[in-house]
Amino acid sequence: MQPKWPWRSVLITGASSGIGRALAEALAAPGVTLHLGGRDATRLAEVAAGCTARGATVATRQADVRDAAAMADWIGGAGPLELVIANAGIGAGTGRGYEQAADARAVFETNVTGVLNTVIPSVAAMAAQPAGPGGLRGRIAVVASVASFVATPGAPAYAAAKAAVQRWAEALDATERRRGIRLHSICPGYIRTPLTARNRFPMPLLMEPAEAARRSLAGLAAGRTRVVFPRRMYLLARLVGALPPGWRAALMAGFPGKD
Task: Supply the DSSP string of 15-64, one letter for each residue.
Answer: TTSHHHHHHHHHH--TT-EEEEEES-HHHHHHHHHHHHHTT-EEEEEE--
Q: How far is CA 85 from CA 18, 20, 82, 184, 212, in A?
A: 13, 8, 10, 9, 14
Residue 2 lies in a domain: no
Residue 259 lies in a domain: no
Residue 244 lies in a domain: yes
CATH code at 172? 3.40.50.720
Residue 198 lies in a domain: yes
Strand partners, 38: 62
Q: What is the pLDDT of residue 154?
A: 84
Neighbours of 59 (CB within 10 A): 15
Residue 154 lies in a domain: yes
Helices (H), the chain: 18-27, 41-53, 68-76, 101-108, 114-127, 156-176, 209-221, 231-241, 245-252
Task: Find all residues with CB under 8 Å of 232, minimum gap 6, and list them.
Answer: 205
Whether 179 shows a pLDDT value over 70: the answer reads: yes
Q: What is the pLDDT of residue 1?
A: 59
Number of domains within the chain: 1
Pairwise CA distance, residues 228 & 90, whole Å: 19
pLDDT digits (tens, 9 = 90+) for 86-97: 999 998 877 777
Task: Find all residues with CB under 8 Å of 116, minimum gap 6, and list them.
Answer: 68
Task: Find all residues with CB under 8 Å of 253, minimum gap 6, and list them.
Answer: 153
Angle between helices 18-27 and 41-53 (to 10 degrees): 20
* Structure confidence at residue 199 as a pLDDT band (50, 70, 90): confident
Residue 3 lies in a domain: no
Question: Angle at Cα 228 formed by Cα 127 and Cα 131, nearest 5°?
Answer: 20
Residue 178 lies in a domain: yes
Residue 126 lies in a domain: yes
Indicate the SS3 state at residue 185.
strand
Pairwise CA distance, residues 200 & 197, whole Å: 8
pLDDT digits (tens, 9 = 90+) for 45-92: 999 999 999 999 999 999 999 999 999 999 999 999 999 999 999 988
Question: Angle at Cα 163 formed by Cα 202 and Cα 157, nearest 5°?
Answer: 65
Active-site residue flag, 158: yes
Q: Give the domain range for residue 106.
A: 9-252
